Amino acid sequence: MADEINSRFSSLEDLQHAHVELMKALRPTLGSGDTSSVKPTIVEFVERAKNTGACIQDPAERQAAQNILDYWSAETVSVEDISKDWTPDKLLPFDPEAGGKTGPSAERLAARLNARKKIQLAAAARLWKDSGQASGYLLNGSALTEAEKFAQEDRDINDLVLASRTKVGTERRNKWIIVVIVALVAVIAWLLIDRAAEQRKLAQLEAQRSAAIADRAATRSAEQVDSQEVKIKALTQELKSAKLSAPAEITETVPESVVLNQTRARIGAKETSPTTLRGFIWLGSDAAPNLLDNAGQPVKPSAASVGGSYSVTKNLVLRTALPSADYIQSDSAGIVPEQTTIRIVAAPVPYRRPAPAASKAAAPAAAPPPTTVQYWAQIEVRISDQPIVYVEYAAADAASAQTLAQKLKSQGFRVPGVEASELAKGIDEIHFYFAEDKAAAERLSTTVGAALKELQWSGVQAPKVVDLTSQKGPRNFPGVLELWIDLSSAK
C-alpha cells in the first residue's frame, strides 16, 4: 500500500507542483536534443503521473493531469517510434479506493491567499492613481504593513505604499509635535511656578539676611549681637545654598529698574536730586544720641534742628516710614553707615520706650519699669561716591581684617565693619549687585590686590569680581559691595 502511495502524487495540485519543479530542474537539458542523462528521472515522473489518475475523479482535473503526462511522455518517445502507431500514456482510471487529497495543501492555500491580496492591492493602487492620488485611498496601520510585503513586487503597490508611508509619517510627526508642545507647555508652566516659588524664597531669604545685617549694624553695641551673628550666619548659609540650587534663569528675568523702583517706592521718599535719598532713621535718645555735630560732639535728638546736618554714630537702618504707634517698624530700605552725614528734613518724633537693661537693673523692684524717649526723624542722605564695603573674612583673628579695612578706607572706600565668617573660608570674591557698581568693584579688586602686595600677604589671593546683578534681592543697595576674603594666610 505504501509503495502504491509513493508511486503516485496525491492530487492534481501535487502533480502540478512536481511538474513545475521538474521543469525548473531540467531546464538546461530540456529541448537541447540530448536528454539521455535525465531520461530515468522523466520516466519515473511519467509513471507517477500516470498512477495519479487513480485518485483524480473530476474530468477537468483529469484533463489537466493528462496534459502534464503528455508533456513528459513526449520526452520518452524515441526517434524510432515515429514509424509506429504511437499511443500516448494514459492516466489510470479513477479508483475510489485509492484515496487522495481533496483539497490543496496549507502552503498552497497561503500562496493563493497572498496572490489574491496582491491583486486586490494592485487594484486599490490603480484606483488611487486613477483618482488623481486622492488621499482617501492611502493606507495605514495593518493594511499598510500588509501592503509593504508586496511593494517590491508591483510598481503601483509600491507607489501607493510610499505615498501612504509619507502620509503616516506626516501624521505621526504632527502627533509628536503636539505631544512635544503639550509637554513643553507643561514643563514651562511648571518651571514658571517653580521659578516664582524660588524667587519668593530667595527674596525672603535676602530680606531676612539684609534685615539681620542691618539690625546688627544698627545695634552693633547692643547685647543681642551674638545671637544676631548666629542668625546672620545661618541665613547666609541658607541663602547661599538656595542660590546654588536655584536655576540662573529664575533671577535673570528680574529687571534692575524694577528693583530700584521697588526700593524707591518702599522708601516712600522723593528724590530731591539723583544723588540723594530720603527716609527715616532712629536718632536715639537724648541720653544716648546717634548724632554728632560738625565738631564731633553728640547732639541730643530733641535738640536737632530741621535742615541741620549731622553725622551718625552707628550703622543705621533707613526705613520707609516712621514706626507705628506701638513701635512696629516699617520696611527697611537700606543702610546709613556710621559717620554718614545726614540732613534732618522734618522735626524728630518722640516715642516712649522701655529703658535699656542697665537702667532696669538700677530701678527699685516695686517701681514701674523705667522708660526712655527714643527719637525718629525723616532725613535726607547723600548717596556717597565712596562705595560701602562689607568685609566678610575668614581668619584666626580680626587684626588682619582691620589692617585691610584701613587700607581700603585710605583709598576712598567706606568700611562700616568687618565680620569674621567661616563662609569666607576659601573664598576671595567681590560681589556687586548693581551694574553701576561694577567699576567700583573692579577698583576695589585692584585696591585689595595692591594692598595685599603692599602687605606682602602672598598667601592671600587677590579677589575676583563676581557679578551678582542677576541675583540681587530687595535688600541689596546701590553703592554697597561685599568683600569675601580668606585671610587665614595673611602674614
| Chain positions contacting another protein, by CB under 8 A | 12, 16, 19, 23, 27-28, 30-34, 58, 60-61, 63-64, 67-68, 70-71, 73-75, 77, 79, 82-83, 85-88, 111-112, 114-116, 118-120, 122-123, 126, 152-155, 158-159, 162
- Least distance between another protein and beta carbon 96 (Å): 20
370: DSSP letter: P
Cell (9 digits) for 106: 496549507
CA pair distance 103, 292, nearest whole angstrom: 121
- CB closer to another protein out of 159 and 293: 159
- Buried residues in 367-380 as b, exposed as e (16+ CB within 10 A): eeeeebebbbbbbb
- CB closer to another protein out of 27 and 200: 27
- CB closer to another protein out of 90 and 353: 90
> What SS3 state is found at 418?
strand
CA pair distance 115, 53, nearest whole angstrom: 28
- Least distance between another protein and beta carbon 469 (Å): 50
- Least distance between another protein and beta carbon 55 (Å): 15
- CB closer to another protein out of 170 and 456: 170
CA pair distance 162, 160, nearest whole angstrom: 5
Between the alpha carbon of residue 127 and those of residues 119, 133, 161, 238, 458, the distances in Å are: 12, 8, 13, 73, 89
Between strands 414-420 and 388-394, the pairing is parallel
- Least distance between another protein and beta carbon 49 (Å): 11
Do residues 476 and 206 touch, judged by C-beta distance below 8 A? yes
Q: Which of 206, 216, 211 is nearest to 236 (CA)?
A: 206
- Least distance between another protein and beta carbon 7 (Å): 21
Q: Which of 112, 169, 173, 175 is nearest to 140 (CA)?
A: 169
- Least distance between another protein and beta carbon 90 (Å): 10
Burial of 274 (0-12, 13-18, 19+ CB in 10 A): exposed
- CB closer to another protein out of 123 and 185: 123
- CB closer to another protein out of 12 and 205: 12
CA pair distance 406, 404, nearest whole angstrom: 5
List the beta bridge partners of residue 376: 282, 349
- CB closer to another protein out of 155 and 453: 155
- Least distance between another protein and beta carbon 60 (Å): 5
- Least distance between another protein and beta carbon 153 (Å): 5
Residue 426: φ, ψ to 5°: 75, 5
Do residues 358 and 378 touch, judged by C-beta distance below 8 A? no
- CB closer to another protein out of 153 and 252: 153
- Least distance between another protein and beta carbon 9 (Å): 13
- CB closer to another protein out of 55 and 202: 55
- CB closer to another protein out of 47 and 256: 47
- CB closer to another protein out of 167 and 264: 167
Please give the angle made by the CA atoms of 390, 393 and 396, to the nearest 5 degrees: 145
Do residues 119 and 149 touch, judged by C-beta distance below 8 A? no
Q: How many helices (H) and strands (E) does the chain have?
A: 13, 14
- Least distance between another protein and beta carbon 180 (Å): 24
Element (H, E) at 127: helix 106-130
Q: Which of 277, 256, 479 is nearest to 380 (CA)?
A: 277
- Least distance between another protein and beta carbon 121 (Å): 10
